[in-house]
Each structure stands twice: as structure tokens, then as C-alpha cells.
Amino acid sequence: MAANSAGEYIKHHLGNLTYGKLPEGYVRECHGHAETLTESTWTFACNGNEAKDMGFAAFHVDSLAWSGGLGIIMCLVFWLAARKATAGVPTGFMNFIETIIEFIDTQVRDSFHGKSKLIAPLSLVIFCWVFLMNLMDLIPVDFIPKTFELIMVNFFGWSAHEAYFKIVPSTDPNITLSMSFCVMLLVIFFTIKTKGVGGFIGTLALHPFEASNPVIKVLLIPVNLLLETIGLLAKPVSLGLRLFGNMYAGEFVFILVAAMMGTWQFIGAWPWAVFHILVITLQAFIFMVLTIVYLSMAVEDH
């Protein structure tokens, strides 16, 4: 085992494989030897502190690779289905895909009353992609990280504790917040598209406190702006953190069980995995439904 204690084991499992820029003159101890960087360098972080010191100029390679890979698989599967889609009698695989499509379509039609070519495929991607990312949670916690660790230690000369690898992208707040802020941008875009720039500013400045007297109206604008801006930001933050929090908590239980039971972890992990199937589906569904709801609020007139 890479870590000496349960605490270190857990910490190791919660770290991301980070590739980022370390500044000039940074003192690091990596791969078994100490060095001082003579110039700012893009490299893999060897520990949590380095990852932190990289600041914003860093990528979580594992999160991006898994989310991207899963997304590509998802797109390929749907693309294959789309090529075979006919009005005739569907076969087994097509039935499965069409069930998903119809399910998403029903959700969109129920909540979103505007006309948009974007909203349905957006919901499809969100639901399936988030579900697949969440699904990685059900793979026993050590399988893939341990394999990665062995490869890095044996072929690239890394120390075992340097090989961070997290396979559930949705336990990375960057991933979930990135998606939810994309949704927020879409909300702003749809609001401006339906109500115009003036209308968008109006929704921020003239609600929730309204007045017919112009002077009071102007006086109320700062208050309204403050409240509505917080409201606007609260949506994506809550959307992203809800998914992250649920998945992080679920992942944490798996890691705790693994740390406690070691080889016999499946005894503890199996019941939790069964329960977790519900959580991963539900969270993907919630993320999708809230996206549709936010967007439908953007296009509807009050």
C-alpha cells in the first residue's frame, strides 16, 4: 500500500493528478531528489502542496481524461444509434437508445415551453454524461488508481505516493462547477435572446422589489441588483456543488470502507454500491432537470 496510515491512504485517494505551471525558483522534492526550478515549468505535481502552489494554471489530467473519454464513448454510441435510426421497427440496441431519447424528450417537453434546438441535446448530454461520470464511482476504489500507480512506478520512476489518480470526474468540483457555470452562461444567453439586453438588466435591477414611483424605483435598484446577482450566481453554484457534494460523499464512503477493510472491502462496499446506483442516477437526473428548469425560467415572461 502506498500510504502508511489510513489517513494518508484517504488523502492519497482524494488527490488529483495535476499538471500545471510551477513558478521560477520553486523548491521541490520530487521522484526521490530535491531540486530548485531555474525557470517556471509545466509539470506534474508530486504532492498536494505543489498542486496548490500551481494556482489556476493547472489541469486535473485524470478528471479531464476520464470525463472526456466517457463523453467521447457516449457520443460514439449515440452517433452509431443516430446512423441506424429509422422509422421502422427498432432492434434491441436502438430500443435502449430510443428509450433514453424519449425519456429526455418528455422531460424537456414537460418543463421547457419555448422552442430551441439546443435544449434537448443539451439535456441528453448532461444526463448521460453526468451519469457515466458518476458510474465510475462503482468501480472498486483501488482498481484503476493502483494500476496507474504500478505503471508510473515501474516505467516512469515515480514514487508510489506521487501517483495521484482519481477516476470519478464528478468528485472534482472543477468539473461540476464548470458544467453548472456553462449552464449559467446559457441562462444569461437565453434571457438576452428573449428579452433583449435591456430586459436582462431589467430582470436583475427591477425585481423583486417593485415600485410605481420612479424615484423609489431608482432607489430600489441597488438592493435589487444585489439580491438578483446573488440569486443568479447561487443557481450554478448550488447546481455544481450539489452534484459534487453527493458524489464526493459517496466516494468518501467507498474510500473509508476500503481503508477500514482492505481486501475484504467488497463486504462493506457492495451494499453501499447498490444504494449508490440510485444516487448516481438521481444526481444526473437532478442536474438535467434543474438545467431545463433554469433555462425555461430564462425564456418565460413573468
Interface positions with another protein (CB under 8 A): 14, 18, 20, 51-52, 54-60, 63-64, 67-68, 71, 74-75, 78-79, 81-83, 85-88, 97-98, 101-102, 105, 117-118, 120-122, 124-125, 129, 169, 172-175, 177-179, 181-182
| Rama region for 28: left / alpha / beta (φ>0; ψ in -120 to 50; rest) | beta
In the complex, what is the shortest distance from the CB of residue 29 to another protein, in angstroms, rounded to a whole number?
Answer: 20
Set of cell numbers at residue 75: 457520443
Q: Look up cell 415572461; give the residue.
A: 301
Peptide bond into 208 cis (omega under 30): yes
In the complex, what is the shortest distance from the CB of residue 137 to another protein, in angstroms, rounded to a whole number?
Answer: 17
Between residues 79 and 275, which has the closer beta carbon with respect to another protein?
Answer: 79
Q: Which residues contact 68 (CB under 8 A, 6 or more apart)?
A: none
Set of cell numbers at residue 278: 440510485
In the complex, what is the shortest distance from the CB of residue 53 to another protein, in angstroms, rounded to a whole number?
Answer: 9
Helix %, strand %, coil % of the chain (to 5): 70, 5, 20
Q: Is 242 annotated in the active site?
A: yes
Residues 16 and 62 sit within 8 Å (Cβ to Cβ): yes
Q: Check 47, 63, 224, 246 and give the catalytic one.
A: 246
Between residues 88 and 198, which has the closer beta carbon with respect to another protein?
Answer: 88
Q: Is 28 annotated in the active site?
A: no
Peptide bond into 169 cis (omega under 30): no
Between residues 9 and 244, which has the closer beta carbon with respect to another protein?
Answer: 244
In the complex, what is the shortest distance from the CB of residue 300 to another protein, in angstroms, rounded to a whole number?
Answer: 22
In the complex, what is the shortest distance from the CB of residue 37 to another protein, in angstroms, rounded to a whole number?
Answer: 19
In the complex, what is the shortest distance from the CB of residue 90 to another protein, in angstroms, rounded to a whole number?
Answer: 8
Closest residue by Cα to residue 280 from 136, 141, 135, 178? 135
Set of cell numbers at residue 298: 430564462
Between residues 78 and 220, which has the closer beta carbon with respect to another protein?
Answer: 78
Count of H helices and E strands in the chain? Answer: 9, 5
Q: Is 134 annotated in the active site?
A: no
Cβ neighbours around 167 below 10 Å, total: 20
Q: Check 116, 159, 174, 242 and give the catalytic one.
A: 242
152 vs 235: CA distance, rounded Å:
40
E strand or H helix that includes residue 124: helix 119-135
Residues 272 and 224 sit within 8 Å (Cβ to Cβ): no
Residues labelled catalytic: 238, 242, 246
